[in-house]
């Protein structure tokens, strides 16, 4: 039975989801106020937090900001707002995924299970430890650590899996469809910008760590590529196998 924290001021929705998720192997605790929800989330008792944006007290974005300073618990953001910017902000702050309201409970269940599968995969492996090294980036999937020129990268589970996927195929173009299914564990939707936002965050963290230039290339209308150091370069110049345009 997986413990879930649901922070939402819609008591009717909370009651429905508590019953529905309970029938699928989850124990749901509910809070209806931002600050009370944050306090419960920081207790470290839950596998995942379902967090509404519109809350009394402090809103869901502020809950997520404060939560991320002390915890890496998985967070699925629930939003009734239709603006893409609100979903982008949630991913920028550190949400693992988002789901706009109204939603089908089956879709919520699928998203929760996908996030928990990624979380389980992020735990240190006992066997088959894999070490990857590309262009100054070092990744150890056993210890779940990643560095760029020796500077440790503070990555979310999604960012770690995304970096690992790119490093396993350096110089190759990985389509958005492939990365969405591999990293986000769901089918690709051309209107869903979640993957692009995760790539943008990962790209920024790599640049902040070592200023090695544009290591992750955007291949317009196709996908992404981890570029290899250009031949004869000092390590801060990267080459793509094809022309590309930055989209985010």
Sequential DSSP letters for 21-51? HHTTTEEEEEE-SHHHHHHHHTTT--SEEEE
Average pLDDT of the segment spanning 240-246 = 42
What is residue 138's three-state secondary structure?
strand
Average pLDDT, the chain: 85
According to CATH, where is 3.40.50.2300 located in the chain?
2-121
Confidence band (pLDDT; 50, 70, 90) for 43? confident
Could you list the beta-strand ranges (E) of the chain: 2-7, 26-31, 48-52, 74-79, 97-100, 131-134, 137-140, 145-148, 151-152, 173-175, 216-219, 223-226, 228-229, 238-239
Average pLDDT of the segment spanning 122-151 = 77
Residue 198: Cβ-neighbour burial (10 angstroms; 0-12, 13-18, 19+): buried
* Residue 233 pLDDT exceeds 90: no
| The dihedral formed by the CA atoms of 172, 173, 175 and 181, expressed in degrees to the nearest 10 | 30
Confidence band (pLDDT; 50, 70, 90) for 120? confident
Q: What is the pLDDT of residues 143-163, one digit of tens each?
A: 888 999 989 998 888 888 899
- Whether a cis peptide bond, with omega within 30° of 0, leads into 65 is no
For residues 100 and 21, the model is more confident at 21
Average pLDDT of the segment spanning 108-114 = 94
Contact, 159 vs 198, CB < 8 A? yes
* Residue 239 pLDDT exceeds 80: no
CA gap 166, 125 in Å, rounded? 20
Q: Which residues lie below 8 Å from residue 107, measured CB to CB, with a gap of 6+?
A: 99
* Residue 237 pLDDT exceeds 80: no
Confidence band (pLDDT; 50, 70, 90) for 51? very high
Quickly name the fold that domain 2-121 has: Rossmann fold (3.40.50)
Q: Lowest-pLDDT range, 10-14, 82-86, 188-192?
A: 82-86
Quickly name the fold that domain 131-239 has: Arc Repressor Mutant, subunit A (1.10.10)
According to CATH, where is 1.10.10.10 located in the chain?
131-239
Sequential DSSP letters for 143-164? TTEEEETTEEP---HHHHHHHH
Q: What is the pLDDT of residue 82?
A: 59
Contact, 44 vs 67, CB < 8 A? no
């Amino acid at each position: 039975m997986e413990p879930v924290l649901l922070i939402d001021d819609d008591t009717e929705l909370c009651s429905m989801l508590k019953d529905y998720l309970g029938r699928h192997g989850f124990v749901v605790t509910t809070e209806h106020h931002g600050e009370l929800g944050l306090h419960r989330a920081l207790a470290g008792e839950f596998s995942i937090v379902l967090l509404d944006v519109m809350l009394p007290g402090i809103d869901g974005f502020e809950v997520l900001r404060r939560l991320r300073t002390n915890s890496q618990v998985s967070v699925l953001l629930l939003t009734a707002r239709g603006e893409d910017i609100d979903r982008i902000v949630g991913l920028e702050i550190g949400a693992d995924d988002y789901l706009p309201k109204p939603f089908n409970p089956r879709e919520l269940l699928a998203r929760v299970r996908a996030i928990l599968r990624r979380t389980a995969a992020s735990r240190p492996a006992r066997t088959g430890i894999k070490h990857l090294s590309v262009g100054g980036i070092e990744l150890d999937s056993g210890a779940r650590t990643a560095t760029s020129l020796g500077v440790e990268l503070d990555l979310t589970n999604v960012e770690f899996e995304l970096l690992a996927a790119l490093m396993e195929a350096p110089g190759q173009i990985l389509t958005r469809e492939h990365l969405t299914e591999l990293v986000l564990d769901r089918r690709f939707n051309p209107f869903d910008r979640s993957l692009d936002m995760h790539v943008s965050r990962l790209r920024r963290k790599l640049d902040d760590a070592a200023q090695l230039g544009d290591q992750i290339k955007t291949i317009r209308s196709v996908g992404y590529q981890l570029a290899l150091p250009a031949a004869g370069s000092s390590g801060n110049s990267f080459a793509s196998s094809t022309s590309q345009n930055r989209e985010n």
